[in-house]
Structure 1
């Protein structure tokens, strides 16, 4: 099975939103903001979930594990398609995300202290297991974000995106036709940087305020393969930088996003995102943060 972003776009079009692209100026530089936090469920994750469920012929019962956003995407996708879903989350999952998963109709099971522990238990549960990021159908679905960016802004030359397990960044890299992908991670929550340094995906620490969304301990093998064969720059930002970026998105543009979504904007503010016409993907808004 190969990555096919165009086919994914055709499958999910009746269900997912086509999110806006907003051209702005920040610190004297032009910037495009992909407002993916306005997606159904408040994050891009529903794209990969929908593509997977539709391509698999809408299995009767689906199971997944998640730190929050992926589980919500699977729960809502299953609800849209008339399927049942069970979502495992670690006991550390934010209450706002847990509440939304249950509101989407999924059975919620808390298990383990980390996403990895929740995933082990979920794989043993009856049903069709839906990967969070390490599957061609999931990567293809997430890549539809990149197709929309290029369609709305053909002159875009760099796309900055936050990295967790790698599904979104790999999908975008597969969809933007050789343009530069700028992969941004928090310090101490950097599965891609760890993999690049080691030459292969390896386990690493998950210590960041953005960990509920970007808290994969290891980059997926498929994303690693994609990201080491495409034009990709890896950047790191501190928690202080990403929180300041989140606050500025609210203060300057009235955009309320979760910490993970501000990660690539933090890299832009630091002057580290190249390009004459760059785009920053705001990937999620599942937070109970109050400005």
Structure 2
């Protein structure tokens, strides 16, 4: 695969993303929780597309040159975000997903005015195919505008809560975590903890190696978390030593899904509950007030009910 030249985002990208996101979205709720002393849940699952990815998509589409088509690959939620952004802006967007992508997400993407392509049986195969198609490639994680868009969660938190914070977020390709790190470096009193699937630790391995490395990826029902990084990906560089990285198992994620449902009446997808799983399992070190991002809710009824079944 050709290594693309992608620049890491900076403060100006975060400023531009903030303008794009706040012009389109209302702030998501921040609710008290008994998860840990003083804990708050940041409910990105309440976004109009059901996940935080709409932030990065709005920022990326706003950054396109006038009339420039966009193409992207997605495990589902980024594609939904790109569809939402396309519907608002009229942008020409193609979304590539694998043939094994969550059907509820595929159906949702197809409801937006985008060109939907299914290719390959894994996200990695869908991503490789998307990069061969014409148009400006918008990675769901390796893109300065996308990363900055996810970082607007931090800007929003500044307006919702004071004091030293420990922000805990799920990690797949690292776009959300990199965005939070970008914001945290300008805030100064924030610790960031990223939570990977135990069977897919590409970001932590790449951060440790100081370069993108390929790891073995196992099976997980948390479909937003697994996959290797695009060669040359900037997210490990942006994350650097700003964030701490940990991991959780599928069983720990299922426990978190049950906890969110019984304690808060919330439906989350597997990846969306990874942060909660890390706190419940004692896998996240908390020194400031804990803010746990519930990042998405897009799960089929069958997948969700099977996951929370005792």
Fold conserved between structures, TM > 0.5: yes
C-alpha distance in 1, partners of 2:214/2:76?
20
Partner of 2:35: 26
Kindly indicate whether residue 285 of structure 2 is the aligned counterpart of residue 277 of structure 1: no
* Count of residues paired in the alignment: 289
Partner of 2:235: 223
CA drift of 1:151 comes to 2.0
The SS at the match of 1:207 is coil
Decide whether the 8 Å contact of 1:17 with 1:40 is kept in 2.
no
- TM-score, normalised on structure 1? 0.93
Deviations 1:65-93 (A, max 9, x none): 11111111111111111123211111110
Decide whether the 8 Å contact of 2:194 with 2:245 is kept in 1.
yes
Partner of 1:97: 105
Partner of 1:13: 22
- Which blocks of at least 5 consecutive residues in structure 1 are unaligned? none
Deviations 1:244-290 (A, max 9, x none): 10111011101101000111111111233312411100111111135
- Which blocks of at least 5 consecutive residues in structure 2 are unaligned? 1-6, 306-310
Decide whether the 8 Å contact of 2:170 with 2:196 is kept in 1.
yes
C-alpha distance in 2, partners of 1:281/1:14?
22
Kindly indicate whether residue 77 of structure 2 is the aligned counterpart of residue 66 of structure 1: no
Alpha-carbon RMSD:
1.8
- Runs of 4+ displaced beyond 4 Å: none
C-alpha distance in 1, partners of 2:210/2:237?
11
CA drift of 1:105 comes to 2.3
Decide whether the 8 Å contact of 1:36 with 1:283 is kept in 2.
yes
C-alpha distance in 2, partners of 1:206/1:16?
34
Kindly indicate whether residue 254 of structure 2 is the aligned counterpart of residue 243 of structure 1: yes
Decide whether the 8 Å contact of 1:49 with 1:138 is kept in 2.
yes
CA drift of 1:102 comes to 0.0
The SS at the match of 2:88 is helix
C-alpha distance in 1, partners of 2:258/2:217?
23
CA drift of 1:24 comes to 2.0
- TM-score, normalised on structure 2? 0.88
